[in-house]
Amino acid sequence: MLGRGDWEAAQSGSELAYCPWEVRNTNSLGVKDVEHENIHSSLSSLIGTTHVQTQHNQLLVYPATEEEISQILRAASAHGYGVVPQGNGSQSQFGKGFIEKKIQLSLKRMTGIVEHSIPDLTAAVLAGTPLQMMQQVLKQSGQWLPIDPMVSAEATIGGIVAANSSGPKRILYGSLRDYVIGMRIVYPDGSVVKSGGKVVKNVAGYDLCKLFIGSRGTLGILTEITFKLRPLPHYQELVLIPLQTLDEAAKLQRIILASEFIPSSLELLTPQFSVELGQRPSYTLLVGCDEGEAACIYHRERLTELAGADFNLKRGEGADQFWQEYRSYFNSSSQDFLLAKVSVLPMQVLPFLQLLRELFDGSSVLMSCSAGLGTGIIRLTIQDGLNQDGVAPKLKIAREWAEKHQGALILEKAPFVIQKQLSIWGSEPSAFPLMKAIKQKIDPDYLLNSGSFIGGL
């Protein structure tokens, strides 16, 4: 039922790089129109005409309840349509598959905090709730969900969980898989499944939540997610140390990771990125501390011993503002923008940066990185000039290196000109057959977001 074409087949018209299915849909108008009318009226009768829209010949539905989602999935299945779930669409460029007949299912109307148990430090949230909105509510009780993903203000919590997004503070707080304690999911057959619960410790049955975190909407539609929360830090500081060489960074990385430091971030910015964020044109090491004022002072003194007193300091809200600017850098709406996420072991991060330097040395494209020295996660961006030959081959070499070192390089945002030369996900892991078997068991007809995950899942 789904035309899951390959990258090559759909590449005509690079200005439409992010929505190539439109190119195809216009090819055979007659039949498509009738089918479109049928499904449109069927959906309208289910959830009301105002909640079914057509934009650029594309069906968009806005259900308000789990029940409506179930009905939409059943209708889509009956009409031979695929369904692509989205929150606010803020990350929807990511790993887009090619489905000829599809319905975009937005969770925009499923917004709000269902339950926030302040003394229990837990909150159940509807999947369409923007993370920012959620954090604002939690903040009033001195709590937060300790994730700082590189997403825009409208990004929804459901989308963030589906993409398993994280940020620099992961070194201290961990990632979504450490905070999701329960979920409600609409399965492709329309049934509603609950996994986990609302308590912070729970080993009853399989931990299905793990399967859905980072599953890119290919297995089910998340409708409600329950999180374990943390108290907001009373005080935080961010020390920004300019460094001339990667060797200096390597030395500090080893010392900080192997001693008493409790960094809430440990990121190395490349010179290009440092300049963008108002720092000197050198490498910048960011060392955060969320452990309270006395601990922050201690951290600062230790860093002075190790690296001298020539650093910048951001305190409290100043640090928050810095991170906000930092995050916005990854949210370019430019079509000529690439964001790759690389994951390697912490001790491979600096060798990887060295490799990138060699690869891009003398190249005219603007490549910058923020490298998590404790997490091993590197965010690599390239602005402008992605049409030039040579960018994709360079990234391919970088990916091969990462994969050889037990890591991965995935494209989070990339124009089509890159996507046609370089796959989004890279090599399939050895356990791929099991992943495929799970997809086929849960979604045998490939109804959900098909083709957008690794290996065409």
Partner 1 sequence: MEQKHLVRALTQIVGKKSVLHHPDDVLAYECDGYTIQRGTPRAVVFPSCAEEVSKVVKLLFQAKIPFLPRGAGTGLSGGAIPLGGEVIISLVKMNRLLEVDFANMRAVVEPGHINLKLSNTISVQGYYYAPDPSSGSSCTIGGNVAENAGGPHCLKYGVTTNHVLGLELVLPNGEILNVGGSSLDLPGYDLTGILVGSEGTMGIVTKITVRILRKPQGVKTVLALFEDVRDASQVVSDIIAAGIIPAALEMMDQTAIKAVEAGSYSVGYPENTDAVLLIELDGLTAGMEEMAEQILEVCRNHHVSSVKVAKTPEERNRWWANRKTAFGACGCISPDYLVQDGVIPRSTLPQVLERIREISQESGLRIANVFHAGDGNLHPLILFDARIPGQTELAVETGSRVLQVCADVGGSITGEHGIGIEKQQDMYMIFTEQDLQAQQMIRNVFNPEDLCNPGKLFPKPARCVEMKRPVVHS
Site for partner 1 in 216-245 (CB under 8 A): 219, 230-232, 234
Tokens of 286: 């960011």
Which residue has 């495929």 as its token pair?
436
Q: Enumerate residues 359-388 that contact partner 1 by CB under 8 A.
A: 375-377
Nearer to partner 1, 113 or 121 (CB): 121
Of 73, 356, 382, 435, which lies in the binding site for partner 1, with binding defined by CB under 8 A? 435
Pairing outcome for strands 143-144 and 337-343 = unpaired
Closer CB to partner 1, 197 or 271, in the complex: 197
- Binds partner 1 (CB under 8 A): choice among 227, 311, 425, 446: 425
Task: Write down the least CB distance from residue 4 to partner 1, Å.
Answer: 18
CA distance 84 to 447: 8
Please give the structure tokens belonging to residue 327: 């995050």
Does 254 bind partner 1 (CB under 8 A)? Our answer is yes
Q: Which residue has the tokens 């990138």?
A: 356
206 versus 384: smaller Cβ distance to partner 1: 206
Q: Contacts with partner 1: how many residues (CB under 8 A)?
A: 85
Q: Which of 259, 310, 361, 362 is the binder for partner 1 (CB under 8 A)?
A: 259
Nearer to partner 1, 79 or 302 (CB): 302
Nearest to 353 by CA among 369, 340, 374: 369
Q: Which residues 286-305 are close enough to bind partner 1 by CB under 8 A?
A: 291-295, 297-299
- Indicate the length of the chain as a whole number: 457
Binding to partner 1 in span 150-209, by CB under 8 A: 164, 166, 174-175, 177-178, 187, 191-195, 197-209
Least distance to partner 1 from the beta carbon of 230, Å?
A: 7
Exposed, middle or buried by CB within 10 Å (0-12, 13-18, 19+), for 56? exposed
Nearer to partner 1, 133 or 438 (CB): 438
Q: Kindly identify the residues of this chain, within the stretch 45-104, that bind partner 1 according to CB under 8 A.
A: none
Looking at the Cβ atoms of 39 and 186, the one nearer to partner 1 is 186
Query: CB-based burial of residue 31 (10 Å sphere; 0-12 exposed, 13-18 middle, 19+ buried)?
Result: exposed
User: Would you say 219 or 246 has its CB closer to partner 1?
Assistant: 219
Question: Binding pattern to partner 1, positions 308-347, x when CB under 8 A?
Answer: ---------------------------------x-xxxxx
What b/e sequence results for 366-386 when a residue is b if at least 16 CB atoms lie within 10 Å of its CB, and e otherwise?
ebbbbbbbbbbbbbbbbbeeb
Q: Which residues contact 321 (CB under 8 A, 6 or more apart)?
A: 314
Strands 102-106 and 82-86: parallel
